[in-house]
Chain A
Amino acid sequence: MQNKKRFSFKNLTQISGFSSFSSALMAILLGLVFGFIVMLIAIPGNALAGFQHVVLGGFNRIADVFYFATPILMTGLAVGFAFKMGLFNIGASGQYTMGMFFALYVGFMWNLSGSMHWIAAILAGMLGGMLWGFIPGIFKALLNVNEVITSIMFNYIGMYLVDMLIQGNSLMYISTKARTNYLPSDVQIPSLGISGSNVNFGIVFAIIISIILYIVLQKTTFGYELKATGFNKNASKYAGMKGKSNIIITMIIAGGLAGLGGAFAILAPSAIEGSSMTYEPINIIAANGFTGIAVALLGNSHPIGIIFSSVFISHIQRGGTLASLVGYKPEIIDVVIAVIIYFSAFAMIMNSALARFVKNRLKKKDSDHGASESEKTQIDFNEVNYKTKEAE
């Protein structure tokens, strides 16, 4: 009986899906433990109550969790998808900001009626992101410039460019309030109709896009080439795959995903009648882009995994804001999230460490078991030897 159980567990640890899931879980757990320690140090008396808010608070605001998950799901996909090809797209922030700007531009400057308007704005956002992915992509493909460097620089270029363009446009920008004007209501993505929350169709689109990406990666020749290139660049070249154009296409898609994230964020409907989301050109790089890196890491760059990791990170972010009720600064939750990000970066290492730990435990049991057996065989052998001697 016991034997059976042990073997099934052994098999379980060998499935790769399980191991990436277990490593993500491990990362989260460790992150939470450290987060708790940080809270304990900050305000010892309220740590338990605060921690409870962090872990469980999000459940009271499920709709908001999904609302805030939308943009980081998209930037997470932008990072994860490129990573499948072996590209580290650290420029999701810039692509996200460009997407936001393109969406805003269509929202303010184009006169379209009805739902055409928000659809056009979303597509424009995608285009903006694509453009900002395309440039590092073409640098990488044709000039072999490291995409990490170009995309970091394009984060700044994109951000300053957008801030400049917005500030210079009197239709979009209200200088007295240092933010953009309210968007017309027909540019806002339809709400899902949950009262008190901004959650909208953006999350539905984002999940559909994740599933499409999953299909692209698993079922298409493009996905086959992309993963092959990510695994072994030389072999993909040997097989006649067009490495350069694949790099460009991948970066365009990744940029488009982040751009969509920006569009989903800025075009979200506001729960308050007559208002909308606004953009403040204050020279800050969009944090959602970097959160996307964490989301992708935690989701192991798997489109479906990224859905869950984005919801999780959004969940603790929501819970974190509630911790302020018991006196915690919102920065504490940033520390907790940072710790989780830190540990998820080591997820792969911990993954193998965990697997080895489990294996060793099992082996120990095995060898303890085996020892008695070998003793037995030893006796058998003595008998055999004895017999052969006799025969001689």
Chain B
Amino acid sequence: MENYIIEMLNITKKFPGIIANDNITLKLKKGEIHALLGENGAGKSTLMSVLFGLYQAENGEIRKNGKVVRINNPNDANTLGIGMVHQHFKLVEIFTVLENIILGVEPNKMGFLEKKEARKRVIELSERYGLKVDPDALIEDITVGMQQRVEILKMLYRDNEILIFDEPTAVLTPQEIKELLQIMKEFAQEGKSILFITHKLNEIMEVADRCTVLRKGKYVGTVNVKDTTKEELSKMMVGRDISFSVDKKEANVGEIVLSVKNLTVSSKTHKNNAVKNVTFDVRAGEIVCLAGIEGNGQTEFVNALTGLEKPNSGIIKLCGKDMTKSSIRQRSINGMSHIPEDRQKHGLVLDYKLEENLVLQRYWQPEFQRRGFIKFDSVRKYAEKLIKKYDIRSGQGSSTIVRSMSGGNQQKAIVAREIDKEHQLLIAVQPTRGLDVGAIEYVHKQLIKRRDAGKAVFIVSLELEEVMNVSDRILVIYEGEIVGELNPKTTTVEELGLYMSGAKRDVVKEISDAE
């Protein structure tokens, strides 16, 4: 007889137009790390929201230690010892760490706050798990990684014994990920039970004891992580074989498409320049990857490249034409496609329908408008073509409001739009951020297809694996400067890491000469 702390039995949860969870069963043992794996929109977050009391299931039941419980809201969940770290943190920005932790369970004497005890406990907890959080820092001043630790402390402070992590590593740097996984292991050793939502297989292999896989809202199976492989897991998740190594032919390099000379961009946050004297070319038929740790000037560089921001100095040429001072629309017409870093801020109008978003870069073209009137039937036809071709899933097809779509499908919509548009240069900034392996493989394939079609592809990525697998050439950016140009075939991840952290650098001369 197994000893389960939480059992979710035959859970069914429907939303208009979609069954998010269809008869799903999940059993969590005491003291284990249980991974919940699935594609974007497979229903992982919904299932966890049911457990945390944010949604009520139409069918099925939840048991704790064998007893049936009803969880109507997060407070119920909390009393049962269930805590959750959400993908998007629920913190009050202008409060301190301590204030956030005690929020909702404020210790008080006759209505007056008693922070002393709480503070002692927070410091004690923080030290015990090596979380290194300053209780008096304001949330808005600390890094995303630290904010996540505040969320973790919130659960610990409430003596939660069942901890839900909803894609906790998506926002972290590789170093922070390592530390988080270590912390999770410690929790498990202490007897806390952890549910870990992710689609990063490496992390599952590293920390999880068992793994439950969902696909399109349905239960696929639960496996012991020791007895399985990454390939097997991904097959369960996607329903077909996934290749991790990206197959690609030799690059067939052609003319220079993008030429950047001595580009300098000022920073909005500090006085120094964010991008310093950057020079390089991207040729037709090759994929160039700009690698670097977040915040080393990539965002500013891409903004200048795409026209969202004005550079201080330097020249940007697209297919031989000087584009330094051109408008965004002109760049677009001249063959620049841009998959932006922040899909919700720049890439989409969330309150527009999917079809309206799919023509965001093209609505003014004769295909979609006549004398200023949008041809909505052409828009719909085009949208339906893209939805089919690029497998964009949504509740109500082309007339779905984009806000209601899952993050992965939002990203797919952007990728579809930018790839399908006439272009010579494709700029993709973290194109696979937050996507599952199936979608990542898909996006990578599309990028390589573009390359093979003779387009220039420029990727900005933080993922080492992506950089190594997809690119034909790697440029490393560190503190706004290009510190190295590497060949992915001859370099190693370790070497790349050294460049990215600034420990190693070359004097990069005119790269076009080196070609």
Contacts and interface: CB of A to CB of B under 8 A. Distances in A.
Contacts of B406: none
Interface string B318-341: 000000000111111000001010
B347 interface: yes
A232 B356 contact: no
A236 B349 contact: yes
Nearest to A223: B374
Interface string A216-257: 000111101001100110111111111000000000000000
Contact of A235 (B329, B331, B345): B345
B192 to A, nearest CB: 27
Contacts of A370: 56, 58-59
A235 B60 contact: no
B385 to A, nearest CB: 20
B16 interface: yes
Contact of A221 (B9, B328, B340, B363): B363
B303 to A, nearest CB: 10
B243 to A, nearest CB: 33
Interface residues of A, number: 28
A146 interface: no
Interface string A297-328: 00000000000000000000000000000000
Given A220-B372, A377-B61, A240 B345 contact: no
B168 to A, nearest CB: 27
Contacts of B56: 363, 367, 370
B352 interface: yes
A12 to B, nearest CB: 13
Interface residues of B, number: 37
Given A238-B338, A240-B328, A221 B369 contact: yes
A378 B328 contact: no
B363 A238 contact: no
A240 B332 contact: yes
A378 B346 CA distance: 48
A228 B363 CA distance: 12
A231 B349 contact: yes
B364 A234 contact: no
Nearest to A10: B16
A239 B360 contact: yes
A141 to B, nearest CB: 15
Interface string B261-274: 00000000000000
A236 B364 CA distance: 13
A377 B373 contact: no
B68 interface: yes
Contacts of A367: 56
A221 B338 CA distance: 21
A381 B10 CA distance: 10
Contacts of A144: none
B245 to A, nearest CB: 33
B308 interface: yes
A234 B345 contact: yes
B131 to A, nearest CB: 34
Interface string B42-73: 00000000000000101111000000100000
B350 interface: yes
Contacts of A241: 329
Contacts of A377: 9-10, 59-61
A240 B329 contact: yes
Contacts of B364: 221
A221 B364 CA distance: 7
Nearest to A228: B349
A175 interface: no
Nearest to B306: A238
B373 A235 contact: no
Given A231-B352, A238-B328, A240-B327, A220 B60 contact: no
B16 A14 contact: yes
B35 to A, nearest CB: 25
B60 A224 contact: no
Given A363-B56, A377-B59, A238 B340 contact: yes
B484 to A, nearest CB: 30
B122 to A, nearest CB: 34
Contacts of B247: none
Nearest to B56: A367
Interface string A131-172: 000000000000000000000000000000000000000000
Given A363-B56, A378-B68, A235 B327 contact: no
A219 B350 contact: no
B348 interface: yes
Contact of A220 (B9, B330, B373): B373
Contact of A232 (B330, B349, B374): B349
Given A14-B16, A377-B59, A222 B348 contact: no
Nearest to A363: B56
Interface string B453-484: 00000000000000000000000000000000
A275 interface: no
A115 interface: no
B372 A373 contact: no
Contacts of A14: 16
A224 B348 contact: no
A221 B373 CA distance: 6
B351 interface: yes
A377 B348 CA distance: 43
Interface in B475-499: none
Contacts of B61: 374, 377-378, 381
Given A224-B356, A240-B327, A378-B61, 19 more contacts: A219-B374, A220-B373, A221-B369, A221-B373, A228-B349, A231-B350, A234-B346, A238-B308, A239-B328, A239-B361, A240-B329, A240-B330, A240-B332, A240-B361, A366-B58, A370-B59, A373-B59, A374-B68, A381-B61
17 contacts: A219-B373, A220-B373, A220-B374, A221-B372, A221-B374, A231-B351, A235-B360, A237-B328, A237-B346, A238-B346, A239-B328, A240-B329, A241-B329, A370-B59, A373-B59, A377-B59, A377-B61
